[in-house]
Amino acid sequence: MLIPENGPPEGRYVQAGPIRMHYLEFGNAGGPVVVFLHGSGPGNSAWANFHLNAQSFAEAGFRVLMPDMIGFGYSDKPLDLGDYTLQLFCDTLMAGLKEMGVERCHFVGNSLGGGVAIQIALDHPKFVTKLVLMGPGCLEPQDAYWGMPGIAKMMSANKAGMSKNTQGEIMRLFTYDPEIVTPELIDMRWAVAQTQPKEVLTTMKTPELGARMQELTCPILTFWGRNDEFMPTQGKAKCIEANEMSRLIEVNACGHWVMIEHPRMFNATSIDFLRHG
């Protein structure tokens, strides 16, 4: 595809089932694999979500993979595969990871990416070593998310038609401190948003996985912003009560993007958890 001006950096591509999937790779090719899974929202990509985290994990000895999931970033955004279901995200991601040579990995997932990570851990428990979740989605019935103020405003803007100004307004809903949303970050997501059909968001279908959290057998570290306007707060209990290896860190003065709003703390804590548990 044509790389838009001010967009995220371009990496490599693999065939992921029916789509061509873009991904970035950093770090030690022989190290433990950490796969970063971004959230949804107009114009999002792996680099937009994790540009403040990738290098720290690479320097810690991990093989860092940052795929753009179907419908996002530089990956294909088809309209002929039906609704954008969680199963579609999972199936195409797993096909892409197989092509990247991944046999087992840690997942680091924000929002929708957290839901994808949980679903894959439920379906393929031997594939997932540990989970790091940040305000994970897919814990509640989908209607519960539509009622959250951040998501309601985001979906309304997406249906009405996005502009660069609206893009910035939506992105500031994700953070406690709006100054964190820099002009460069707005430009990056706006560049991708102009290539993204609105159906990627309007046809998204997600199941309720909260009742299944106790089926997870891997260690789990969850971060939750106290000022998150996108995730229903009852999800915190479902994460911490998943199993005896579950840990929860609630961060004050923080919205939905812990990894962007508090990157030093997030990186150090997550790396320690992945190394030592």
Is 276 among the residues known to form the active site? no
Question: Whole-angstrom Cα distance, residue 85 to residue 87?
Answer: 5
What's the confidence (pLDDT) of residue 3? 63
What's the confidence (pLDDT) of residue 1? 55
Q: Using an 8 Å Cβ cutoff, are 145 and 114 in contact? A: no
List pLDDT tens digits, range 12-36. Answer: 999 999 999 999 999 999 999 999 9
List pLDDT tens digits, range 215-225. Answer: 999 999 999 99
List pLDDT tens digits, range 104-118. Answer: 999 999 999 999 999
Q: 170 or 213: whose pLDDT is higher?
A: 213
Selection from 84, 74, 40, 72 nearest residue 199 by Cα: 84
Selection from 132, 137, 119, 104 nearest residue 216 by Cα: 119
Question: Whole-angstrom Cα distance, residue 71 to residue 200?
Answer: 6
For the chain, domain boundaries: 12-276
CATH class, domain 12-276, is alpha beta
Q: Which two tokens stand for residue 254?
A: 């923080």
Mean pLDDT of 76-92: 98
Average pLDDT score over the chain: 95
Backbone region of residue 53 per phi and psi (left: phi > 0; alpha: psi in -120 to 50; beta: other values): alpha
- Does residue 2 carry a pLDDT above 80? no
What's the confidence (pLDDT) of residue 275? 96
Side chain identity at 254, as an amino acid letter? C
Angle at 115 between CA 122 and CA 196, to 5 degrees: 135
List pLDDT tens digits, range 204-261. Answer: 999 999 999 999 999 999 999 999 999 999 999 999 999 999 999 999 999 999 999 9
- Does residue 274 carry a pLDDT above 60? yes
Residues 6 or more apart whose CB falls under 8 angstroms from that of 61 comprise 27, 28, 31, 32
Check 51, 256, 262, 276 and give the catalytic one: 256
pTM of the predicted protein model? 0.96
- Does residue 277 carry a pLDDT above 90? no
Side chain identity at 151, as an amino acid letter? I
